[in-house]
Amino acid sequence: MQMNDSRSVPASRDKVWSALNDPNVLKQCIPGCQSLEMTSPTDMTATVVIKVGPVKATFGGKVTLSDLDPPNSYRITGEGSGGVAGFAKGGAAIRLEAVGENETVLHYEVDSQIGGKLAQLGGRLIDSTAKKLAGEFFMKFGAVVSAS
State how far the Cα of 47 lies from the Cα of 18, in Å rounded to an integer.
22
Task: Lay out the sheet containing 73-81: strands in order across.
Answer: 2-9, 103-115, 87-100, 73-81, 55-69, 43-52, 33-40
Confidence class for position 148, pLDDT limits 50, 70, 90 = confident
> What pLDDT, in 10s, does the model give residues 70-124?
999 999 999 999 888 889 898 899 999 999 999 999 999 988 888 888 888 877 8
- Mean pLDDT score across all residues of the chain: 91
State how far the Cα of 43 lies from the Cα of 62, in Å rounded to an integer.
7
Q: Is 124 helix (H, G, I), strand (E, B) or coil?
A: helix
CATH level 2 (architecture), domain 2-147: 2-Layer Sandwich (3.30)
CA 120 to chain centre: 23
> What pLDDT, in 10s, does the model give residues 52-84?
888 888 999 999 999 999 999 999 999 999 888
Would you kindly state where each structural domain of the chain is located, as residue ranges?
2-147
